[in-house]
Amino acid sequence: MDGDIAPLPQIIELAERYNAITFVDECHATGVFGDHGVGTEEYFGMRGKIDVINSTLGKALGGGTGGYTTANNEVIEVLRNKGRPYLFSNSICPSVAGASIEVFNMLEESTDLLDSLRANTKSFRT
């Protein structure tokens, strides 16, 4: 939230050295960081290096509700079977899921929205 960017390459290096799992909360990076708004790992050119990514479908994506976690099948199964927020909450509505998928497709297909965001950010900071 303060504009700090985690030193992801160094964190991944340490995790690999000590056989640790990496977890990144991308709620303020999804839709903003990286060439296509994928987040911090794309920003550093390290896609696929993070074990668990947690983010929101709100903020930059505009969904306003819900979120997601990506990880390998084993981690996702544990979350599905043991995670209290998963067990005691409702799924997001289909229209938000569909709109969120479309936003990810839009970001992958074109950088126009990110280019506009970056130009506006530069203008406001100047």
Q: What is the CATH number for 77?
A: 3.40.640.10
Q: Which domain holds residue 24?
A: 8-125
Confidence (pLDDT) at 87: 61
Confidence (pLDDT) at 88: 64
Listed as ranges, residues in the chain with pLDDT below 70 are: 1, 63, 86-88
Looking at the structure of the chain, the number of domains it has is 1
The answer as to whether 39 is a domain residue is yes
Listed in sequence order, the residues at least 6 apart from 60 whose beta carbon sits closer than 8 Å to its beta carbon are: 30, 31, 32, 37, 117
The answer as to whether 99 is a domain residue is yes
Confidence (pLDDT) at 86: 66
Alpha helices in the chain (DSSP H): 8-17, 40-43, 73-82, 84-87, 94-109, 112-125
Distance CA 65, CA 19 (A): 34
The answer as to whether 1 is a domain residue is no
The answer as to whether 3 is a domain residue is no
Dihedral of CA atoms 78, 79, 85, 87 in degrees, nearest 10, equals -60
The answer as to whether 118 is a domain residue is yes
Q: Say if residues 67 and 56 touch (Cβ distance below 8 Å).
A: yes
The answer as to whether 86 is a domain residue is yes
Q: Rounded to a whole number, what is the largest CA-CA distance in the chain?
A: 49
The answer as to whether 84 is a domain residue is yes
